[in-house]
């Protein structure tokens, strides 16, 4: 981490820890603090990233990300229920998929769960974010475990998109135990592009339900999925869609907080 990034993240952490939330935003948005914020955090369209160690449940790993994501990761974790579900299912040697990996918190949890002999295939279409994610993969020694695809996952092959089924075929991965899809609206297209995987492996799946909820549910039923629940563990009834749908061939249980701590 550069000296400027380390200083910026230290000041950001201090501000969020010491100052009341009611005064943080006015200070951050004031004309007085704007020049300092730009120096420390970088251009808003290209936020400055920092690297730090994150402790989550029984895992410790290095994460590179913008300050606000690092702060959240260190304080509370990111997508905790999804991560605990993945950790309860994945074992060394398994394969997992993360579509819409962002800065890779979930991918790194998956990678540590399946290492050293497993595989994680992570899709991140944003080239700037993918570049940062690659740093985290390498710094954690997971280059042989996590395969980063710097394209989007969709329903057909194009210049910017590939299908999950195509990547699995070319990567010689036959079975997948767990899959997360979070693409802010194109999640149904991702599912169409991994129909063969869903029918053959039926991995436990977490999919964002921002759009095409009925189509997603019907498609998963056609692929053989029978159990649908939300992140609170409650059964999902058609028409009452959660933000993220958990689908599986048989019932699954999300472990409670601290379930994996020694």
Mean pLDDT of the chain: 89
Residues 160 and 59 both lie in one domain:
no
Of 128, 15, 136, 30, which Cα lies nearest the Cα of 71?
Answer: 15
- How much is the average pLDDT of 168-191? 96
Residue 2 DSSP label: -
Contact assessment for residue 244 and residue 82, using Cβ atoms and an 8 Å cutoff: yes
The range of the structural domain enclosing residue 174 comes to 79-248
Of 77, 95, 117, which marks where a domain is finished? 77
Is residue 121 within 8 Å of residue 174, measured between CB atoms? no
**Domain membership flag for residue 210:** yes
Predicted TM-score (pTM) of the model is: 0.86
Q: Which of 14, 45, 77 is the last residue of a domain?
A: 77
- Do 47 and 107 lie in a common domain? no
Task: Choose the final residue of a domain: 55, 77, 99.
Answer: 77
Same structural domain, 140 and 73 = no
Lowest model confidence (mean pLDDT) among 28-42, 69-83, 105-119: 28-42
Q: How many domains does the chain have?
A: 2
| Residue 120 and residue 62 share a domain | no
Q: What is the CATH number of the domain that holds 204?
A: 3.40.50.150
Domain co-membership, 228 together with 127 = yes
């Amino acid at each position: 981490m550069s000296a400027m990034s380390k200083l910026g993240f230290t000041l950001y952490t201090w501000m969020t820890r010491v100052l009341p939330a009611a005064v943080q935003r006015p200070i951050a948005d004031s004309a007085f603090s704007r020049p300092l914020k730009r120096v420390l955090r970088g251009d808003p369209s290209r936020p400055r990233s920092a690297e730090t160690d994150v402790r989550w449940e029984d895992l410790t790993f290095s994460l590179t990300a913008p300050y606000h994501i690092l702060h959240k990761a260190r304080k509370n974790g990111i997508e905790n229920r999804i991560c605990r579900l993945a950790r309860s299912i994945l074992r060394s040697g398994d394969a997992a998929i993360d579509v819409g990996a962002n800065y890779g918190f979930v991918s790194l949890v998956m990678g540590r769960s399946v290492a050293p002999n497993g595989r994680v295939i992570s899709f991140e279409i944003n080239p700037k974010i993918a570049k940062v994610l690659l740093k985290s993969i390498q710094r954690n020694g997971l280059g042989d475990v996590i395969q980063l695809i710097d394209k989007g996952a969709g329903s057909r092959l194009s210049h910017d998109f590939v299908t999950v089924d195509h990547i699995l075929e070319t990567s010689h991965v036959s079975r997948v135990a767990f899959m997360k899809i979070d693409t802010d609206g194109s999640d149904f297209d991702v599912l169409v592009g991994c129909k063969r995987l869903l029918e053959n492996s039926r991995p436990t799946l977490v999919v964002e339900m921002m759009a095409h909820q009925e189509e997603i549910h019907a498609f998963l039923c056609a692929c053989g999925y029978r159990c649908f629940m939300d992140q609170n563990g409650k059964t999902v009834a058609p028409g009452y869609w959660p933000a993220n749908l958990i689908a599986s061939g048989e019932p699954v249980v999300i472990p409670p907080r601290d379930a994996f701590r020694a």
